[in-house]
Structure 1
Amino acid sequence: MIRGRAEKSFQLLSSYLYMLKLKNPGTIVEIENDSESRFKYLFMEIGSCLAGFRSQMQPVIAVDACFLKGKYFGSLFVATCKDGNNNVYPIAWGVGDSENDASWEWFFTNLRSAIGHEIPDLVFVSDRHKSNSKAVLTVFPNALHVHYIYHIGQNVKGKFKHENVHALFYKAAKAYPESEFHELFNDLERYDPAVSTYLREASFSRWVRAYSDGKRFDIMTTNIAECLNTTLADARKFSIQCLMEYIRNMLQQWFYERRGHASKMARHLTSWAEGQIAKRFALSQYWLSEPIDMYRFNVKDGNSGGIVDLKAKTCTCRVFDFDKLSCGHALAAARSRNIDLYTLSSAYYQTEALLCAYVDPIMPVGSQADWIVPNERASVNLLPPATRRPCGRRKTCRIPSAGEGEEEGKMWSLWSNWPQSPNLLKSNKSG
């Protein structure tokens, strides 16, 4: 009652988005309706987020979608990345009728118009949803598209009942050198040849870190997108205009808090990156570094060691290559030459880059009574979608997506139809 009727929210949407663009320069919004003026799609990218991504972020975008819980059916789409302090950095949002070919392609088309399609080494990380994969290939044909490992791991766990297979799969997926991956993969194959057959069909280049050429950094899952879905678990019950305002207000708070946090960082690198470097530095403190030439070193760590090239910023352990942060071998080599350790890491991890990412505040749209909207916008009569929910208690748990294991699917089916108390739902929200 406080937030108004869902139908009224659709009529306010055009005016709200106009004010959002007015208060936040650079913001991109698009609405599409059908021939009967019923809502079909929405795309929203706030200018501050867009500017930060274009200039300061790793070009690795995790995409995901989750269902809306309001009066009308729909799905919320999100594209997000990580900042240099390992925080979630949302880029764009969308609303469509469901996760189908048309909705995903419309979302990606608008995303391409906003961020551009000539971004070097652009990577998309997603689940194995067929519509998602098809849309990436159509709209971003030159981008690398990889899958996150959770769903594949759940399928391995459900299909193959060997006790150690699941843990071995994750070790193999996250291995840095190809030699280590193949050693672990051979162990999987010894448990059951069917396991290796299934994983080969999933394509190594899509889920194995060692075959990713280092373009995906350390992002092996879509957790950065899925945690947004959890954060918005209650807000997804709101009507569409209230949901967009909730998201804007959430980002306003995040930008303020993170800008303040970044301004207190006194080091060259972000606090998260500093922590990673400190751990590796302590581990490599007594490793022996033997120079090969001016830039290359053979570092002995008591095991396989690593050959470091400080100029190319590579190491045979491949941690330096993939994380874009100095590995222990690189730190040992740099220390032997009195080279500043922080100059070896990617610019994405610098404190200055983090400050620049949050330098532009996200402004509120103000009270509706104070909106000054052109008549052509204010008079837009946008109707709600034709597909509304039936009467009765609404389901609050998702339907398992394609690619999840049969056992997991059965569990989700039972859970989503089980009569639950509000307290039980609240305690299991993170699931």
Structure 2
Amino acid sequence: MRKVVVVDGTSMKARYGGCLLTASCQDGNFQIFPLAFAVVDSENDDSWEWFFRSLSTFVHDTTDLVFISDRHNSIYTGLRKVYTEAHHSACTVHLWRNVRHLYKPQLLAGLMSSAARAFVIEDFNKKFLEIQRVNPGCAAYLVDIGFTHWTRVHSQGKRYNIMDSNIAESWNQVLKEAREYPLICMLEYIRTTMMEWFAVRRARSARSASVIAPKCREIVEENFESAMSMAVRPISDFEFQVQIRSGECFTVKLVEGTCSCNEFQCLSIPCPHAIAAATRLGVSIDTFVDTAYFEETIRHSYEEKIYPIPSVGGHTTADAASGTRGDLNPPRSRRPPGRPKKIRILSRGEFKVCFISVKT
């Protein structure tokens, strides 16, 4: 897996409430790969710290690990205590919603999104200067957050294509109905969903005759079409100058896997300039794609099987041997009056946006 983990918390709608914490990432075919999930009383410092300590038993703390989440204070606190070497980045979608609420013009949100996704400093500076010109207050707000926290070009870790927490939001959407079930039923729903995903994806990958995953193949083919109109001139054996139609030139170093556009090294997928250079050299483009996108890697990702849990509906073997029942009593809680809300609860620092239509 590419070492980008998206964490999120969402409320449960069952009788006793609670919160479901999740950690997810993407496989090489840009599909959701759930890593861990846990039920806690609420999103607080103790809950997130315990969750991260449990997660750290198999997602180890390294300098090339990146966490992406909303700006919940307890997530920040837990990461500071457990993952001291990993980097933490903010979800750009949550920031985009805040910008749209605080600073009304829609133009700002688009400029902020473009600045966050820029691959080179020059493009980022150009977009951020436009933000300053349109609304200095919005620019000051983004500066206070820190460029390293929300932009790709200034990020201290490698975010690849994952600029937001949509992975976690999509996973929460899959579990939307299950979050109204009793606890054991909800957990069994999660298990059977993952069991089916693993089986289907394992079978699809086994049938594939391609070297790289389908979604990655689409990106490579799209970049290949753009590369056909570029002029390539050699600098050395494996270094090339690539000129596009506008006259702008880029330097591609195939051995290092870099391009001056910075897209090649950020996504670990050959950009159009790198593809043009590889075609000139007569080398297969697939060799420059990161192994995370290989079908073989995806097959290894799903080779483990998920089986039913024997203890569901009865006692575990350990309980029977020890003579204890091991029952879990529900927490002492008072269910709020009225029908449970269906609308997603906004994260801390996130604002509700209302649209008003005006007839002319």
TM-score range relative to shorter protein = over 0.9
Change (3 A) 1:252 1:275: same
Equivalent residue number for residue 395 of structure 1:
341
What residue identity is the alignment partner of 2:340? R
CA distance, structure 2, for counterparts of residue 251 and residue 270 of structure 1: 20
Equivalent residue number for residue 384 of structure 1:
330
Q: Secondary structure at the match of 1:262?
A: helix
1:104–1:135 CA contact under 8 A, matched in 2:
yes
Q: Secondary structure at the match of 1:382?
A: coil
Q: Which shows bigger deviation, 262-271 or 82-91?
A: 262-271
Change (3 A) 1:390 1:99: same
Equivalent residue number for residue 181 of structure 2:
238
| 1:275 matched to 2:221 | no
Give the Å deviation of 1:359.
1.1
Equivalent residue number for residue 420 of structure 1:
none
CA distance, structure 2, for counterparts of residue 160 and residue 385 of structure 1: 42
1:168–1:188 CA contact under 8 A, matched in 2:
yes
The structure whose RCO (Cα within 8 Å, separation 6+) is larger is: 1
Q: Structure 1 residue aligned with 2:17, among 59, 67, 73?
A: 73
1:213–1:322 CA contact under 8 A, matched in 2:
no
What residue identity is the alignment partner of 2:254? L
Give the Å deviation of 1:379.
1.4
1:305–1:329 CA contact under 8 A, matched in 2:
no
What residue identity is the alignment partner of 2:37? W
What residue identity is the alignment partner of 1:399? I
Give the Å deviation of 1:397.
2.2
Q: Deviations over 1:153-195 (max 9, x none)?
A: 1111111122411111111111111100100110111111111
| Map 1:364-375 → 2, pairs under 5 A | 364-366=308-310, 368=312, 373-374=317-318, 375=320
Q: Secondary structure at the match of 1:209?
A: coil
| TM-score of the superposed pair, with normalisation by structure 1 | 0.78
RMSD between aligned alpha carbons?
A: 1.8
1:65–1:76 CA contact under 8 A, matched in 2:
yes
Equivalent residue number for residue 225 of structure 1:
168
Give the Å deviation of 1:214.
6.0
Unmatched segments (≥5 aa) in structure 2: 356-360
Q: Structure 1 residue aligned with 2:58, among 98, 114, 135?
A: 114
Equivalent residue number for residue 358 of structure 2:
none
| 1:183 matched to 2:126 | yes
1:265–1:271 CA contact under 8 A, matched in 2:
no
CA distance, structure 1, for counterparts of residue 234 and residue 157 of structure 2: 25
2:205–2:295 CA contact under 8 A, matched in 1:
yes
| Map 1:26-425 → 2, pairs under 5 A | 57-117=1-61, 119-212=62-155, 215-303=158-246, 304-366=248-310, 368=312, 373-374=317-318, 375=320, 376=322, 379-405=325-351, 407-408=352-353
Query: Identity over the aligned pairs, expressed in percent?
Result: 34
Change (3 A) 1:301 1:231: same
Change (3 A) 1:330 1:130: same
Equivalent residue number for residue 51 of structure 1:
none
Change (3 A) 1:340 1:236: same
CA distance, structure 2, for counterparts of residue 166 and residue 78 of structure 1: 28
The size of the alignment, in residue pairs, is 352
Change (3 A) 1:175 1:153: same
Give the Å deviation of 1:367.
7.8
Q: Secondary structure at the match of 1:360?
A: coil
Change (3 A) 1:388 1:161: same
What residue identity is the alignment partner of 1:252? M
Give the Å deviation of 1:366.
4.6
Give the Å deviation of 1:216.
1.1
| TM-score of the superposed pair, with normalisation by structure 2 | 0.93
What residue identity is the alignment partner of 1:385? P
Q: Deviations over 1:88-116 (max 9, x none)?
A: 00000111111111111110011112333
2:70–2:347 CA contact under 8 A, matched in 1:
no
Q: Deviations over 1:291-323 (max 9, x none)?
A: 111222111012333211111111111110111
CA distance, structure 1, for counterparts of residue 213 and residue 345 of structure 2: 39
Give the Å deviation of 1:218.
0.8
Change (3 A) 1:372 1:70: closer
Unmatched segments (≥5 aa) in structure 1: 1-56, 413-431
Q: Which shows bigger deviation, 332-341 or 159-168?
A: 159-168
Q: Secondary structure at the match of 1:308?
A: strand
CA distance, structure 1, for counterparts of residue 104 and residue 60 of structure 2: 45
Change (3 A) 1:190 1:257: same
Q: Secondary structure at the match of 2:274?
A: helix
2:63–2:85 CA contact under 8 A, matched in 1:
no
CA distance, structure 2, for counterparts of residue 394 and residue 126 of structure 1: 25
Q: Which shows bigger deviation, 160-169 or 145-154?
A: 160-169
What residue identity is the alignment partner of 2:29? N
